[in-house]
Amino acid sequence: MLGRWVLYRWAALLGGIVALIALPASANATLVSTPVPYMGWNTYYQVGSETPGSNNINESTIKSVAQSLVSTGLAKAGYKIVWLDFGWVSGARDSNGNLVVDPTQWPDGLAALTSYLHGLGLQAGIYTDAGTSGCSGQGVGSSGHYQQDADQFAAWGFDAVKVDFCGAGQQWLDVPPNDPRTLYAQFSNALANTGRPMILNVCNFWTPGQINGSAPSFADSSWDSYTWAPADAQSWRTDTDIGFSRKPDGTGGIQFANVLRNLSHDTGTASNASQPGIQTAAGPPGTPSSSPIAWGHWNDPDYLGPGLGMTDTQAQSQFSMWAMVAAPLILGSDPRLLSTTNLNVLENPRVIAIDQDSLGAQGFLLSQLGSAQVWVKPLAGGARAVALFNTGSSSLQISTSARAVGMPRASQYTLSDAWTHQTSTTNGGISALVEPDAVVLYRVTAAKHTVTVSRRGKGSGTVRSSPGGIDCGSSCTASYPAGTTIGLSEIPVPGSKFAGWSGGCAGTLSCTVTTSADQTVIAAFTLLAPNTKITTEKVSSENGKARFNFKAIGTSTGFRCALVKQPKAHHKKPTPSYRLCRSPKSYTHLKPGRYTFLVSAFNVGGSDPTPATRRFTIH
């Protein structure tokens, strides 16, 4: 990369109009799924150097950083990828075209390095350029060796590959067939052919005209990568670098103005570019519905840079906004040098949860009045992340409402401040005094109310809700956001019938309730007598024995049988004593006399009130 900002910062940023094109189908089914934006650390901004082969990217440094990721808690917070960038290799090749790895730089080899990282619960990333070399003819490039290098990266055990376009852009000026779309598709196919699932990061950072004043075109620039890159990669750069490598005296690095610039091009809000659809280009596996992609695919506005030129407030705001736009969270700073304040920011679980939300929606600018911005990010479960962002130089009161940010109508809402960890309630207003360069970040949820279904009566049945949550038989209670309309439906079991609703509903029709408070709905069920007919067939009745076959016509779960001997004249008629039985039913050792055999069917709703009878005589 060789100090991109030192060499190319003069380039003009050209406006343009881009048409959103349909994403092509891709066969790269072995790219890792990345259901949420990936997280990790990269060598480029602080640990790296401008001179390939003579820098801090070596085995001891990388292991030291990896240990720091673990010991500081960054790895536990999600920063798993240890990513080698420009400078890990000189780019020289042997007679067979294999990359030559310096044994003094990597004494144990790169396979041993990835094994070490995996042993720490981390992952390994590596870098190359789509051209024959990196920036200004220096460093590694994979042109002519895409499959060979991809196979080598896989064999070494790497989990992610960043493919730059610095050298390729300078070398060919994006003239087909050496344009970004073509070359990245080729490299993506090479990774797929390895059989090892890996992340591919498209680092086509060039903005329109940045190479020589006319190249690249808008269509070949980072501002337009979102229209084609999702079909080939899990992430793609949406603007140029947010800074340059930190100087030895501690100056330089990442400037907040560049963070704001990249944020605007990552979200289609820049005044000098038309980027329709960029916010919906990103998403989890299976999106967009019109042309589902098998892996998560994310807009990449560049790396996080606390301690590299920004104030702590600015670094915290960058982190907040990167989370809001579902960006990959890759740390560019040396974790061994971060302050406790920086670490606390980077490890904030509430902010990370917004970035890693399973819905995978990218946040968007809802409204702006001068330097006061309101950003919204839909979250799984119906919540919203709301960022009140002050990009100005003086404190501002920034306001919006729950309804404006897309929350359902409710009597009350909960505001959880991701930075102060304080929770408050509101009837709908969302407002805060925001300091310069700062972000107030809320998770907004509608207050919830409980709906409980109580089943009454001798009968039985199931009650289910739409939307789901209630399924009596497993759970008769569920909580819903205030203002939610719940439909309840009853399903009697065999032998029972539904008798009606009471409580929140009345009558026997379907029940609909709206959650404005906790409430209980009663569902009544009654028993049904079995609708059966019994047929009996006497098999024999002699020698003190009798045997009967019988069956039910209709719904039945069992039978009860009784045998009554007819009394002598003027004697009291005996009461039948029923017992469970099944066909055929046999009796033995019967004394002579007249008998009546009775059989009754039953089910869960009760017994057949009229038993079948069969009279017989034993001589």
Q: Tell me how far apart the alpha carbons of residues 56 and 284 are, in angstroms, rounded to a whole number.
A: 35
**323 within 8 A of 298, measured Cβ to Cβ:** no
What is the 8-class DSSP label of residue 575? P
Residue type, 419: W
Which residue type occupies 349? P
CA distances, 133 to each of 91, 167, 198, 237, 240 (Å): 7, 5, 22, 19, 19
Number of CB atoms found within 10 A of residue 84's CB: 24
Q: Which residues are catalytic?
A: 164, 241
Q: Which residues, including other chains, have CB under 8 Å from residue 103's CB and lie 6 or more apart?
A: none
- What's the length of the chain? 619
Query: Which residues, listed in sequence order, are joined to residue 450 by a DSSP beta bridge?
Result: 479
Residue 368 burial by Cβ neighbours in a 10 Å radius (0-12, 13-18, 19+): middle
The values of phi and psi at residue 171, to 5°, are -75, -45
| Closest C-alpha among 347, 332, 302 to residue 70 | 347
- Cβ atoms 564, 571 nearer than 8 A: no
CB 359 within 8 A of CB 287: no
Q: How far apart are the first and last CA of the chain?
A: 112
Place of tokens 């990217």: 57
Which position has the token pair 């007598």? Answer: 529
* DSSP result, 97-132: SPBPPPTTTSTT-HHHHHHHHHHTT-EEEEEEESSS
Nearest to 428 by CA among 411, 448, 449, 440: 411
User: From residue 165, how far is each of 189, 205, 219, 550, 583 by CA, in Å?
Assistant: 17, 7, 14, 85, 84
- How far is 71 from 68, CA to CA, in rounded Å? 5
Residue 561 burial (10 A CB sphere; 0-12, 13-18, 19+): buried
Task: Kindly state the tokens that stand for 214.
Answer: 């006319």
Element spanning 316, H or E = helix 312-324
Q: Which residues contact 385 (CB under 8 A, 6 or more apart)?
A: 323, 324, 354, 357, 363, 376, 377, 379, 418, 441, 442, 443, 444
Distance CA 273, CA 267 (A): 11
Find, among 197, 153, 386, the residue nearest to 142 by Cα: 153
- Asked whether the beta carbons of 302 and 239 are under 8 A apart, the reply is yes
